[in-house]
Structure 1
Amino acid sequence: MAGNGGRLGPRTDRDTELGAAVARAQDGDEEAFAVVYRLVQPLLLGYVRGLVGDDAEDVTSEAWLEIARDLGRFRGDGPGFRGWAATIARHRALDHLRRQDTRPRARPLDAELLELPGTEDTADRALEALATERALTLIASLPPDQAEAVLLRVVVGLDGVSAARVLGKRAGAVRTAAHRGLKRLARLLS
């Protein structure tokens, strides 16, 4: 999953790369926007899939249209951009669910949607994929508030304050929900 030091590499390296790419994309650099998309899309798609299930690609595409349209208004760094993009994706997901007249609920996520190309050993990647698939299935079994907090904190890699902004809640409430969710996951795994 996308935590610090995980498969995606140290979060600070990715955040530095993301922040620089966002700045260049705001100046009209199309290749930089492609870098932004490559770094953020798997995270957003995983998060949105946890909210809307099979419609995640459509909803995430709508979010990217809004992100591209409003990119010039964004102010911040790499982690700030991830939070801003997650907020937009969440709003599009909630709009989608309202149109369907259903409540948001966590659903199983596809592990391959969260993978980025890497240099890892194939056997290690296969074992990690199995573990990731199981973890995502377990996350989907959590209460919705805990599942969404865990998705934002672990999959998208947001800190408590940023995840709270996305959810429109207090940071303490999000940290508590994520903590309870992770604790419940630990119990399920043991």
Structure 2
Amino acid sequence: MGDDAELTAAVLAAQNGDETAFRTVYRAVHPRLLGYVRTLVGDLDAEDVTSEAWLQVARDLERFSGDADRFRGWAARIARNRALDHVRMRGRRPATVADETELTGRAAASDTAGEAMEALATGHALGLIARLPQDQAEAVVLRVVMGLDAKTAAETLGKRPGAVRTAAHRGLRKLAELLGGDPESPGALDALPPQPGPCSRAVTSAGVTRVRARTQKDM
């Protein structure tokens, strides 16, 4: 089975009370979910907010229906609601603290978006994402880090798929600019590095994974 099929099966087993399956689901989804929450609440509170989201996921899991992609979207929607409640209580969206110096000079004019996507595998890149307008930051993380399709990402954000594609595209272009590349380079948004599947990928210490290939049309 592919990774999505394995995650779908694990979700179904977890709904039937299989604790081992729930741990499989958690390991597959948590790193990406944590990366998403970090763009909303910052580093200091991300773990706590994501833990609250998982408590709700566990509580409401029996009511969920759908495949792996829908589960990732459902979990992201729960995490987003918990994060926005947290931000409202605190009064503002915080900036993610990060040292951007290690990213200087990484991008090449021939593949700026590819380099930007590679940089998403580092905690430092979350600082750059946090500098994007919130709609762009969320679209980039949901589409690229969480791996959601445009329809599922749109359902998570309560927007139209076209609006999410546009926000993600603009966010990627801005990331390329922040990384020092030329966002107008031909094909810059077409060459993205491969993303391991949710059950077998390598996870960075920042909880953000390498991303799977998407073309400009897909975004």
Q: TM-score range by the shorter chain?
A: 0.7 to 0.9
Helix, strand or coil at the partner of 2:159: coil
For the pair 1:21 / 2:1, whether they are aligned, the reply is no
Name whichever structure is richer in helix by fraction. Answer: 1
What displacement does 1:41 show?
0.7
Helix, strand or coil at the partner of 1:94: helix
Q: Is the 8 A contact 2:143 2:150 kept in 1?
A: yes
What one-letter code is carried by the residue in structure 2 that aligns with 1:17? E
The equivalent residue for 1:69 is 59
Task: Deviation per CA, 1:113-167: give whole Å up to 9, x if none.
Answer: xxxxxxxxxxxxxxx7796344333222211111111011111111111111111
What one-letter code is carried by the residue in structure 2 that aligns with 1:157? G
Within 5 A, what are the aligned runs for 1:79-90?
79-90=69-80
**CA RMSD in angstroms, aligned pairs only:** 2.2
**Runs of 4+ displaced beyond 3 Å:** 128-131
Match of residue 146, structure 2, among 144, 153, 156: 156
What one-letter code is carried by the residue in structure 2 that aligns with 1:151? V
What one-letter code is carried by the residue in structure 1 that aligns with 2:9? A
Helix, strand or coil at the partner of 1:95: helix
Q: Find the aligned partners of 2:160 and 2:120 in 1 and give their Cα distance.
A: 34
Q: How many residues align?
A: 161
Q: Find the aligned partners of 1:55 and 1:94 in 2 and give their Cα distance.
A: 12
Identical counterparts, % of pairs: 68
The equivalent residue for 1:186 is 176
The equivalent residue for 2:24 is 35
What is the TM-score when the length of structure 1 is the normalising length?
A: 0.78
Q: Which has the larger radius of gyration?
A: 2
Within 5 A, what are the aligned runs for 1:1-190?
13-53=2-42, 54-102=44-92, 104=93, 107-108=96-97, 132-189=122-179, 190=181
Q: Is the 8 A contact 2:15 2:62 kept in 1?
A: yes
What displacement does 1:78 show?
0.5
What is the TM-score when the length of structure 2 is the normalising length?
A: 0.68
Q: Is the 8 A contact 2:33 2:50 kept in 1?
A: yes
The equivalent residue for 1:120 is none
Residues 70-79 or 133-142, more deviating? 133-142
Q: Find the aligned partners of 2:8 and 2:97 in 1 and give their Cα distance.
A: 30
Q: Which runs of 5+ in 1 are unaligned?
A: 1-11, 111-127
